[in-house]
């Protein structure tokens, strides 16, 4: 994919993210988007914590789900929804940022299976894996022409 198409896809992905009220609420950022690959992140703030001082599991689940969906959508070049996903919480999330990196591992015409690692980033920039997820992403229709054009390359 050339740089122009990669930027067009990233811009389209950011427009979609901006249209999601919950994503705006928690401050999610789309850092990387290529066909079959996505990186989402957010800054950890007190409002996202549970009573023990860790990021709430629902926030980790949301971030993984959204990253899986982006990876599946760009791999299939179609609008999608999550059909199912599973998450394993490996350690409590604390630190400065959460980063979710997702990849499509199998892509068919109607669905894609995707994997995601969620890491916490500390003040020094070090990363620790705190959750892994896998999901099935289902096609809901055909992509509009501008989305297909953005994904080509």
Q: Regarding beta strands 111-121 and 97-107, do their DSSP bridges make them parallel or antiparallel, or are they unpaired?
A: antiparallel
Tokens of 107: 């892509």
Give, in degrees to the nearest 5, the angle at Cα 57 between 55 and 58: 110
Nearest partner of 115 among 53, 78, 147, 70, judged by Cα: 70
Convert 36-50 into a string of H (helix), E (strand) and C (coil): CEEEEEEECCHHHEC
Spatial separation of the C-alpha atoms in residues 153 and 146, rounded to whole Å: 13
What's the confidence (pLDDT) of residue 152? 54
Q: Domain 3-151: what homologous superfamily? A: Hotdog Thioesterase (3.10.129.10)
What's the confidence (pLDDT) of residue 90? 98
Spatial separation of the C-alpha atoms in residues 147 and 74, rounded to whole Å: 9
What's the confidence (pLDDT) of residue 112? 98
Walk along the chain (153 residues) and give the pLDDT tens digit of each residue. Answer: 788 999 999 999 999 999 999 999 999 999 999 999 999 999 999 999 999 999 999 999 999 999 999 999 999 999 999 999 999 999 999 999 999 999 999 999 999 999 999 999 999 999 999 999 999 999 998 766 555 555 555
SS3 of residue 4 by DSSP:
helix
What's the confidence (pLDDT) of residue 142? 78
**pTM for this structure?**
0.91
For the chain, the domains span 3-151
Tokens of 82: 């999550």
């Amino acid at each position: 994919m050339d740089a122009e198409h990669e930027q067009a896809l990233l811009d389209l992905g950011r427009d979609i993210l901006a249209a999601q009220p919950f994503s705006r609420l928690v401050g999610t950022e789309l850092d990387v988007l290529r066909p079959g690959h996505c990186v989402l992140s957010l800054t950890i703030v007190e409002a996202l914590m549970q009573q023990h001082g860790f990021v709430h599991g629902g926030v980790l689940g949301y971030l993984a789900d959204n990253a899986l969906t982006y990876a599946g959508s760009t791999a299939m070049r179609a609008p999608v929804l999550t059909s199912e996903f599973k998450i394993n919480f490996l350690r409590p999330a604390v630190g400065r940022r959460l980063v979710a990196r997702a990849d499509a591992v199998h892509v068919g015409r109607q669905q894609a299976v995707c994997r995601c690692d969620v890491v916490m980033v500390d003040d020094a920039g070090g990363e620790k894996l705190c959750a892994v997820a896998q999901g099935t992403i289902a096609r809901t229709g055909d992509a509009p022409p501008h989305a297909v054009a953005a994904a080509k390359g």
